[in-house]
Amino acid sequence: MSRAPISETMTAPVTVGVSLGDRSYDILIGPGLVAKAGAELARRLPGVRAAIVTDANVAAHHLEAFQASLSASGVDAQPIVVAAGEKSKGFDTLQEVVSGILEARLERGDAVVALGGGVVGDLAGFAAGIVRRGMLFVQAPTSLLAQVDSSVGGKTGINTPHGKNLVGVFHQPQLVLADTDVLDTLPAREFRAGYAEMAKYGLIDRPDFFAWLEKNWQAVFDGGDARVEAIAQSCRAKAAVVARDEREAGDRALLNLGHTFGHALEAATGYDGSRLVHGEGVAIGMALAHRFSARLNLASPDDAARVEAHLSAVGLPTKLSDVPGGLPGAERLLTYIAQDKKVARGALTFVLTHGVGQSFVARDVPSSQVLAFLEESLRP
Ligand SMILES: O=C(O)C(=O)C[C@@H](O)[C@H](O)[C@H](O)COP(=O)(O)O
């Protein structure tokens, strides 16, 4: 007798709580959650109507099933389909989404549901945060990156030519539904990009998780229980940080490991996903943060080499020269870094490290040191 697919053998999803007082919510992780989305919404948000914000790629795979699930539970829903890709995280597409919600005459007590990856989640969440001064919000992340990172914690926003995520609001969801079956339709490159954010939690303060990933990454890529477990571990790690510092007054900035360099690279490549997607920027950024820490004698070069070896083993880029199409010079990259939201009174902030799983927030990093390091890293 052949084995039943995992969606039939595992019935109960893993639940991870995000503890934020009266804004606390659950993250459900497991197979088959698209089919259960309607029942979860109807039970948790009785009488709610919804706008389902999604992109054209995700719509082709999952919109019909998602809508059917909502409709079967009596949740009236209007789809709003935007173009796929980071370029949709801008004012023009935000306007489209806001208009779609208003034209559907949704009320403040209705929900914006983000069915998609990080771009859709950040965009839809921002719309939910500003339409009628704040509607309900549900995340149904369909990429690994969104399941382990962007769907959790309430950061929403859009990019501008000045930099990444520079306009947005904190707006927590009421519920996150991470259906692990949908990851089966994810292109390999997108899965790897999400894996970078997963490895990040190990590098921040969970060295055991990083060591586990070094041994088990192939099983995580293959799917099944190892993947569900790794997603749940990632969400637990993120939920713990968010619960103690929701609005990044302090150590939530640790979740930005690799992002100061990574965001500058995304801006420098014009958010062109054919050259660099967010998770790839983060992978290069994490490798650079470890190398920069070693350069400043804060960490051993062996740790930097270990991080680079693991990221390379899974097929992620780790060097500036891995970005196709070339990059602007160090001065220009520094201009993007200076727009980072962690900059305080003009001083640069980086997440640096004393070693694997020993990251810390370094405020007031001299720009001359960053510039010298970038020049060195850009050299062939
Ligand atoms: O949730 C957070 O806090 C993070 O920093 C997680 C990041 O991985 C994520 O990409 C986030 O959206 C970046 O935030 P930003 O404040 O640097 O724009």
Q: Tell whether 193 is covered by a domain.
A: no
- Which ranges constitute the DSSP H helices of the chain? 6-9, 33-44, 56-58, 64-72, 91-103, 118-130, 144-145, 188-205, 207-222, 225-244, 259-268, 278-295, 301-313, 330-337, 367-378
Token pair for 377? 């890293």
Q: b/e map of 110-142 (b: 16 or more CB within 10 Å)?
A: bbbbbbbbbbbbbbbbbbbbbbeeebbbbbbbb
Q: What are the tokens at 190?
A: 């997108």
pLDDT band at 8 (very low <50, low <70, confident <90, very high): very low
CATH value at residue 339: 1.20.1090.10
Among 4-8, 73-77, 230-234, the minimum mean pLDDT is found in 4-8
Distance of CA 78 to the CA centre of its chain: 25
3-class DSSP state of 338: coil
Confirm whether residue 318 is marked as ligand binding: no
- The answer to whether residue 341 scores a pLDDT higher than 90 is yes
Q: Which domain holds residue 266?
A: 200-378
Q: At what angle do helices 225-244 and 207-222 cross, to 10 degrees?
A: 140
pLDDT tens-place string over residues 301-325: 999 999 999 999 999 999 999 999 9
Catalytic residue among 192, 206, 252, 290: 252
Predicted local distance difference test score (pLDDT) of residue 380: 87
Kindly state whether residue 195 falls inside one of the protein's structural domains: no
In sequence order, what are the residues at sequence separation of 6 or more whose Cβ sits closer than 8 angstroms to the Cβ of residue 380?
321
Q: Same domain, yes or no, for 211 and 117?
A: no
* Residue 194 forms part of a structural domain: no
Q: What is the mean pLDDT of residues 92-111?
A: 98
Tens of pLDDT, residues 234-253? 999 999 999 999 999 999 99
Q: Is the pLDDT of residue 378 over 60?
A: yes
Tell whether the model's pLDDT for residue 5 goes beyond 60.
no
The answer to whether residue 191 sits within a structural domain is: no
32 labelled binding-site residue: no
Same domain, 59 and 125: yes
DSSP lists the bridge partners of residue 359 as 353
* 1 lies in some domain: no
Residues 259 and 145 in one domain: no
Q: Looking at the structure, do residues 228 and 140 belong to the same domain, yes or no?
A: no
Report CA(360)–ligand 1 centroid distance (Å): 16
Q: Which of 197, 246, 266, 308 is catalytic?
A: 197
Q: State the pLDDT at residue 12.
A: 74
Residue 278 a catalytic site member: yes
Both 142 and 282 in one domain: the answer is: no
Q: Is 97 exposed, middle or buried, given 0-12, 13-18 or 19+ CB atoms closer than 10 A?
A: buried
Element (H, E) at 245: none
Say if residue 170 is in the same domain as residue 232. no
Q: What is the mean pLDDT of residues 122-130?
A: 98
Final residue of a structural domain among 130, 160, 186: 186
pLDDT band at residue 199, thresholds of 50, 70 and 90? very high
Residue 142: give its domain's CATH number. 3.40.50.1970
Radius of gyration of the CA atoms of the chain, in A: 20
How high is the mean pLDDT of the chain? 95
How confident is the model at residue 171, as a pLDDT? 98
Residues 76 and 151 in one domain: yes
ipTM confidence score: 0.98
Expressed in angstroms and rounded, the spacing between residue 362 Cα and the centre of ligand 1 is 17
SS3 state at 22: helix
Q: Whose CA is nearest to atom 16 of ligand 1?
A: 341
Q: Is 40 a residue whose pLDDT tops 90?
A: yes
If asked whether residues 178 and 214 sit together in one domain, one would say no
What is the C-alpha to C-alpha distance for residues 25 and 324, in angstroms, rounded to an integer? 40
**Euclidean distance between CA atoms 242 and 19, whole angstroms:** 8
Asked if residue 148 and residue 292 are part of one domain, the reply reads no
Query: Quick one: 19 and 53 in the same domain?
Result: yes
Of 159, 186, 213, which residue constitutes the final position of a domain?
Answer: 186
Judgement on whether residues 142 and 207 belong to the same structural domain of the protein: no
Within-domain flag for 31: yes
- For residue 10, is pLDDT > 90? no
Number of domains in the chain: 2
Residue 192: inside a domain: no
CA angle 52, 53, 56 (to 5 degrees): 115
pLDDT digits (tens, 9 = 90+) for 49-72: 999 999 999 999 999 999 999 999
Last residue of a domain, one of 186, 210, 243: 186
Sign of CA dihedral 218, 293, 241, 130: negative
- Regarding whether 365 and 286 lie in a shared domain, the answer is yes
Q: Does the residue 122 lie in any domain?
A: yes
